[in-house]
Amino acid sequence: DQQVKQNSPSLSVQEGRISILNCDYTNSMFDYFLWYKKYPAEGPTFLISISSIKDKNEDGRFTVFLNKSAKHLSLHIVPSQPGDSAVYFCAASAAGGSYIPTFGRGTSLIVHP
Amino acid sequence: NAGVMQNPRHLVRRRGQEARLRCSPMKGHSHVYWYRQLPEEGLKFMVYLQKENIIDESGMPKERFSAEFPKEGPSILRIQQVVRGDSAAYFCASSLTRQGSGTDTQYFGPGTRLTVL
């Protein structure tokens, strides 16, 4: 059973526009959420995170929104740049699980010049 | 560059052989995590180790797989008698502290791509 779901395998966006990547989770015990970015042949790189006590966290062009009642989070990238083209993994963790993250399957973002 | 190192980057084994994957954590990190990524899948947690201790191996198959993180040297993920289904990318991550606070970040290595013929 997938506790973290990224239902869009891919997303294509024009440079300069907003990219919105979505993630849903089923485990109500999750209280910490992360986004990782992965280029081909490299390991994932931490991008941004949010605690369940917040509903928004912003870092430069990247903003993560958390809707606990809907068990949904999203990553907004604005403006999108060609260098943002990568696979984005959503991950969630819980104190009861020693905060070891559970990952979604990823969304491949392509930003066209 | 004191990032997480993994070697080899690519490993080809025939069915029945042994695979040994190595991971050197970031300098100063004593917590190591191994993940497996099957094609078209997300990363699946396998095992969490501290120096000389296995903390959580709930994600590791009970047979053929083992992991260690000795006092000196890299962490080793060992797969005995490999089968085709073991073909995957294996990622190692390290962190400075135990992930108890939820705010410590895991830093990932570039992965080892295992192909079983």
The CA distance from A46 to B74, in Å, is 22
Residue B101 has pLDDT above 70, yes or no: no
Burial of A71 (0-12, 13-18, 19+ CB in 10 A): middle
pLDDT score, position B100: 46
Chain A residues with CB-CB distance to B44 below 8 A: 103
**What is chain A's Cα-based Rg?**
13
Q: What is the DSSP string of A40-75?
A: TTS--EEEEEEETT-SEEEETTEEEEEETTTTEEEE
| Distance from the A13 Cα atom to the nearest Cα atom in chain B, whole angstroms | 21
Q: Are B88 and B37 in contact (CB under 8 A)?
A: yes
pLDDT score, position B104: 63
Map chain B to HEC letters.
CCCCEEECCEEEECCCCCEEEEEECCCCCCEEEEEEECCCCCEEEEEEEECCEEEECCCCCCCCEEEECCCCCCEEEEECCCCHHHCEEEEEEEECCCCCCCCCCCEECCCEEEEEC
User: What stretch of H or E contains A11?
Assistant: strand A10-14
The CA distance from A19 to A62, in Å, is 10
pLDDT score, position B97: 74
* Residue numbers of B between 30 and 49 with CB closer than 8 Å to A: 33, 35, 40-45, 48
Which residue do the tokens 């997480």 mark?
B4
Single out the residue of B33, B61, B62, B60 nearest to residue B49, CA to CA: B33
The CA distance from A91 to B91, in Å, is 15
**Which residues does chain A have with pLDDT short of 50?**
none
The CA distance from B17 to B19, in Å, is 7
pLDDT score, position B102: 52
Reported as a single tens digit per residue, the pLDDT across B18-76 is: 999 999 999 988 899 999 999 878 899 999 999 889 999 999 999 999 999 998 899 99
Please state which of the ranges A89-93, B2-6, B23-27, B109-113 shows the lowest mean pLDDT. B2-6
Q: Are B48 and A98 in contact (CB under 8 A)?
A: yes
Q: Do B102 and A43 touch (CB under 8 A)?
A: no
Single out the residue of A43, A107, A98 nearest to residue A73, CA to CA: A107
3-class state of residue A83 by DSSP: helix
Residues 6+ apart with CB under 8 A from B1: none
Percent of chain A residues past pLDDT 90, beyond the cut: 86
Q: Which two tokens stand for residue B42?
A: 């997300």
**Which one of A37, A66, A99 would you mutate to disrupt binding with B, by most B Cβ within 10 Å of its Cβ?**
A99
Q: Which two tokens stand for residue B35?
A: 């993940």
- Partner-chain residue, chosen from A41, A89, A99, that has the shortest CB–CB distance to B43: A89
